[in-house]
Amino acid sequence: MRLLPVIFIILGMLFGRIDLQAADNTGNDPVNTKKTRIGLYGIGLDTYWSQFEGLRDRLEGYQQQIAERISKTHNGIELINTGIVDNPVKAREAGALLAEQGVEAVFLYISTYALSSTVLPVV
């Protein structure tokens, strides 16, 4: 997956420059009713959870807010939310899920410092 096109797609979606539902040239109902699959995954560091009580729950809540906002803002999206990925095993599982679901772009929610081993298997 090339990162630069994904960044432009994300920025376009966030600022309303890209409509994920293609309309026909008459302006009527969308020609393609298939929803675009977008992945959302958060990264964190699992050693923090025992050090800071309630941190993981708070960050998962923030990620849920992001998921809800994306879903409400863009009707043509099917969001695949992997939750917080905080170790290499979960990263491989998240990467497999996103690949299996055939996502076209991925949003990365950076909730805390994280190791590259939680990011690279997904990308």
Q: How far apart are CA 84 and CA 51, in angstroms?
A: 17
pLDDT at 60 over 80: yes
Give the chain's domain count.
Answer: 1
Question: Is residue 83 assigned to a domain?
Answer: yes
Whether pTM > 0.85 for this model: the answer is no
Question: Is residue 73 assigned to a domain?
Answer: yes
Of the given ranges (19-33, 37-51, 54-68), which has the lowest mean pLDDT? 19-33
pLDDT (average), residues 63-68: 95
Of the given ranges (10-19, 58-67, 83-92, 114-123), which has the lowest mean pLDDT? 10-19
Handedness of CA 115, 88, 70, 103 (dihedral sign): positive
To the nearest whole number, what is the mean pLDDT of the chain? 83
Question: Is residue 28 assigned to a domain?
Answer: no
pLDDT score for 76: 86
Question: Is residue 6 assigned to a domain?
Answer: no
Question: Is residue 24 assigned to a domain?
Answer: no
Question: Is residue 56 assigned to a domain?
Answer: yes
Domain that holds residue 60: 34-118
pLDDT at 14 over 50: yes
Question: Is residue 4 assigned to a domain?
Answer: no
